[in-house]
Structure 1
Amino acid sequence: MTEIRERTVLFADLRGSTALFETLGNAEATSVVTHTVSLIGQAVDTCNGRLIKTLGDGLMAVFNTPRDGVKSAIRMHELLERVVARGKQHGASPGLRALRMQVALARGEVVEMGGDCFGDAVNVAARLLDHAGDNETLITAEVLAGLTSTLKSRFRSLDRIAVRGRAEPVHVHLLDQPNQGDMAATQFGEVVPGVEPDGIRLVWMDLDRVFDIDSMPIVLGRSVQATYCITDGRVSRSHARIDWHGGSFSVTDLSYNGTYVRFGSADEIVALKRGGCTLHGSGVIGLGSPPVDAASPTVRFEVLHFADTEPLALGQSRSRR
């Protein structure tokens, strides 16, 4: 029987499962991944949802209300966090300890047929996963509209993002995790307190642009729909995202090949695999490979204070967006 109903669609995807197969072997890794997906799937049932299918290292579910869908996503992250924490306590393999998850939700009319679901909301939710970093939950404006004020307050807008296969951009919101900003700052070096920056300058070859905080987020990628388009085959369609939050800029890796950040003239390079870090001062962002090879696709950045009279030179003339 075919039915058309308004539904909230959720996709969840484990990241880091490939490393499990390398360290544990096929049989044990398959058991761990299957068990983990089954565990996070319990959050669907407890939040009044319906599991449509498992997808290897992920799942798809539908909910009658946005509230149930978002609560399920939050519960999934909590369950995975417990698995990883127990693994760390019992000396589990690095692959298990590195497991992460991305969740995306969209809402709209869904065609339910033969136990499966089809429609624009399904496509949008599935493709939003490409824009989610480690342990992030992204939702559309339609999902946000159906939440209580308390739940709404836990999300911040990423504005409109171009989604593959869709002509119109999608207004996306990100679930803020507790102390997320503090974690990024302490993990990748302390950020010197001071006056909040006003903008950020990005330079790749002859593409020299300055973005203010109202222009956020900036998606760096090969797609012509990306905010900052880098036409290099080694760069993913949506490779990385620069956000403004908590008084600072941050970059989040969205790719499979990784994003690499080097600050100033430091030798140390921060490797981001679906994770993020705070941007401060100036430096370079390597897309797909570390910024050590002059031929690799790298974007130079400078965090700006527009009141400054002598910003750091990056070798190109400044142009405003």
Structure 2
Amino acid sequence: MFNQNTPQAIMFADVSGSSALYKQLGNQDAKAIVDDAVSHMAATTIVHEGTVVKTIGDEVMARFDSAATACRVAIAIQQRSSREFADIGLGIRIGIAFGDTVVTPTDAFGDTVNDAAFVAHIARANQIVLTQGVIDELDATLMHQCQLFDRVNIKGDSQKTIIYRLAWETSQQNDLSTRVMPIHDVTRFVSTFQLTLKMGDKIVSILPDQTPYSIGRDLNKVHLYLDNSVCSREHCHIEFRRGKYVLVDHSTNGTYVHEENKTPIYLRREEAPLQGTGVISIGQQVDSKNPWLIHYQH
């Protein structure tokens, strides 16, 4: 499937209202809430057999084989958001498009991606906006939840096209909400499978579908950038295998992994699991004064 056109539903889900939240609660507390929202959006995608393509700041980009699955995941995200975040003014804006998409191992491209991004930006907080391509794929039950929303020129098109709003608020009155995993199961998925990395003030939460996660000194090729002379350009990466996160070193100077209450392990072109809590030291022995020390928790 990779590097070929294949029918996909593309979803952009963006946290709305975060700027005001940062001013209201301060950086640390607001970031924790926003990170929680993003983690649950990613987890809801993964447990329903979607793929998280990337997270961009407060936004999740995901793809699905089925337009109906994308819509049901969007409903689950909005239902959780309405319960958890309504009192603090946080909401989610979601846009979904369906059509041929160029899929690679790490990204997705094409008109469908552009259309999904476009309707996501049209959506207001707590709304799900769909393109005509999505509507054409839905069954009668989901179609009943869709309403004409607007006629717009989607970027690049000369003619106006109809876009639709998926009225997720009424889905609790029928069987739609039973077709997605209950939120407590998604929460359990996050707590079981999430790996958290902390380097200085930077905190990153990783779920299995977001691996391999690369660490190194090449700003254009890695996920976690270290401007450190002992760090190789593509120093190491983290994989998820058989229920465990594994650090794989492919560097010149090696990597130290120190799990709490255990002896540090030195890796050079080797690998080791990341379990419990501990630290990762890139290219040099573990030193608590090292500003590039990476703390991990799983």
* Interval containing the TM-score (normalised by the shorter chain): 0.5 to 0.7
2:41 corresponds to which residue?
Answer: 40
User: AA paired with 1:172?
Assistant: I
Contact 2:96 2:120 in 1 (8 A): no
1:149 corresponds to which residue?
Answer: 140
| Residue 42 (structure 1) shift | 1.9
1:129 corresponds to which residue?
Answer: 120
Q: Distance in 2 between the 1:114 and 1:41 partners?
A: 17
| Residue 8 (structure 1) shift | 0.5
Matched, 1:102 2:93: yes
**Matches of residues 182-261 of structure 1 in structure 2 within 5 Å?**
none
Runs of 4+ more than 3 Å apart: 177-180
| Residue 59 (structure 1) shift | 0.5
**In structure 2, do the counterparts of structure 1 residues 150 and 111 end up closer, same or farther at CA, with 3 Å as the change threshold?**
same
| Residue 23 (structure 1) shift | 2.0
Q: Distance in 1 between the 2:105 and 2:170 partners?
A: 43
**In structure 2, do the counterparts of structure 1 residues 56 and 166 end up closer, same or farther at CA, with 3 Å as the change threshold?**
same
User: AA paired with 2:34?
Assistant: V
1:82 corresponds to which residue?
Answer: 83
1:27 corresponds to which residue?
Answer: 28
| Residue 18 (structure 1) shift | 0.4
Contact 2:49 2:64 in 1 (8 A): yes
2:129 corresponds to which residue?
Answer: 138
**In structure 2, do the counterparts of structure 1 residues 178 and 73 end up closer, same or farther at CA, with 3 Å as the change threshold?**
closer
User: AA paired with 1:34?
Assistant: D
| Residue 149 (structure 1) shift | 0.3
Secondary structure of the equivalent of 1:48?
coil
Secondary structure of the equivalent of 2:134?
helix
| Residue 13 (structure 1) shift | 0.8
1:61 corresponds to which residue?
Answer: 62
TM-score by length of 2: 0.54
Secondary structure of the equivalent of 2:164?
strand
Q: Distance in 2 between the 1:26 and 1:59 partners?
A: 20
Secondary structure of the equivalent of 2:155?
coil
TM-score by length of 1: 0.50
1:296 corresponds to which residue?
Answer: none
Select which of 162, 165, 170 maps to 2:161.
170
**In structure 2, do the counterparts of structure 1 residues 37 and 19 end up closer, same or farther at CA, with 3 Å as the change threshold?**
same
The gaps in structure 2 that reach 5 residues or longer are 172-298
C-alpha distance after superposition, 1:115-168 (max 9, x if no partner): 100000000100112221221111111111111101101001235312234333
C-alpha distance after superposition, 1:73-116 (max 9, x if no partner): 0000011122126xx4xxxxxxxx10011111001111112410
- Percent sequence identity is 29
Contact 2:15 2:59 in 1 (8 A): yes
User: AA paired with 2:142?
Assistant: L
